[in-house]
Amino acid sequence: MESKAKLLGHPVHPMLIVFPLGLLATAVLFDIIAWIRHLGTMFLASYWMVGVGVVMGLLASVFGLIDWLAIPANTRAKSVGLWHGLGNGLVTALFAISWILRRPMPDQPSAPALILSFLALLVALITAWLGGELVDRLGVGVDDGANLNSPSALSGQPAAPPSKEGSIRRVA
């Protein structure tokens, strides 16, 4: 199933999710280092990463919703996509609450602010797996006819079924 929201021939949602996932995971890593080493400046960097990660997560969710709405009803992909989206909504909300709790003293976050971030990252690991399941296993967001010899997305040509020379033989 092809993605409905594309930029230069590629789905937008997977292009955007790397930002919140990377920022929010790195923020938790910085929190751990800051907590162990008593480094307020790393807590401050984490504070800003969480803020930007939440905004980017909200932006990525818009394009994820566009793609999810195009998935046919009563399919496993629709169900997996729903759990992926709801889970990522929870991740974004937990990080947003953590960010709000950090605001009074960003270089000295409270224990609840840190716990929410750590919990959110654990949920994000599950939702990231669900996103991988959507693309890698269920083919959501993959061009129809995609194969190892498909032309570039910039060529304007559709992906076509593989020719005999370009096909891959599966070994059982």
Calpha distance 41→109 (Å, rounded): 11
**pTM score, whole prediction:** 0.84
Amino acid making up residue 37: R
Radius of gyration of the chain (CA): 19
Give the pLDDT confidence of 36-69 residue by residue, as tens digits. 999 999 999 999 999 999 999 999 999 999 989 9
3-state secondary structure of 82: helix
Task: Give the pLDDT band (50/70/90) at residue 160.
Answer: confident
C-alpha 103/C-alpha 97 separation (Å) is 10
Beta-strand runs (E) in 12-164: none
H/E segment holding residue 7: strand 6-7
Q: Check the CA dihedral 146-149-153-159 and report its sign.
A: negative
The model's pLDDT over 81-138, given as tens digits with 9 standing for 90+, comes to 999 999 999 999 999 999 999 999 999 999 999 999 999 999 999 999 999 888 888 8
